[in-house]
């Protein structure tokens, strides 16, 4: 059972809780989330990147600095998300036995659409 205790900054942002440390930019957007404790295989971190219209365009989940998953997001001129490309590495078991992590060069692609 997780204790729901968190630390709030003066800008009303959560800076840490029982599992994570949170980092925000000057616009209040989440830019990084780091694990508080080292787990199996090392610490986990999440990194978010935004465009000048505050839309998420790039996300990376990493373990010990090695990417486990990377995604990029695409938007139409009206600001609606229309697609995403996701690259995943090998499974954790394969990565541990082969010694290094690598992202699959072929992305999983998802396109979104609307009925008009």
What the chain holds in terms of domains, given with CATH numbers, is: 14-111 (2.40.128)
What digits encode the pLDDT tens for the residues 68-105? 899 999 999 999 999 999 998 865 444 444 555 566 77
At 65, the pLDDT band (50, 70, 90 cuts) reads: confident
Query: What is the DSSP track for 60-114?
Result: EEEETTEEEEEEEEEE-TTS-EEEEEEEEB--HHHHHHHS---B-SSPEEEE---
What's the pLDDT at 89?
83
2 vs 78, higher pLDDT: 78
| Whole-angstrom distance, CA of residue 59 vs CA of residue 28 | 17
Contact 20, 13 (CB under 8 A): no
């Amino acid at each position: 059972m997780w204790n729901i205790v968190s630390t709030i900054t003066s800008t009303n942002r959560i800076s840490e809780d029982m599992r994570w440390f949170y980092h925000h930019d000057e616009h209040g957007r989440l830019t990084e989330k780091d694990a508080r404790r080292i787990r199996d295989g090392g610490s986990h971190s999440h990194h978010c990147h935004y465009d000048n219209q505050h839309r998420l365009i790039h996300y990376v989940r990493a373990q010990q600095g090695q990417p486990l998953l990377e995604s990029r997001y695409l938007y139409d001129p009206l600001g609606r998300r229309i697609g995403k490309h996701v690259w995943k590495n090998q499974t954790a078991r394969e990565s541990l036995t082969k010694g290094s992590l690598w992202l699959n060069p072929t992305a999983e692609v998802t396109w979104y659409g609307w009925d008009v």
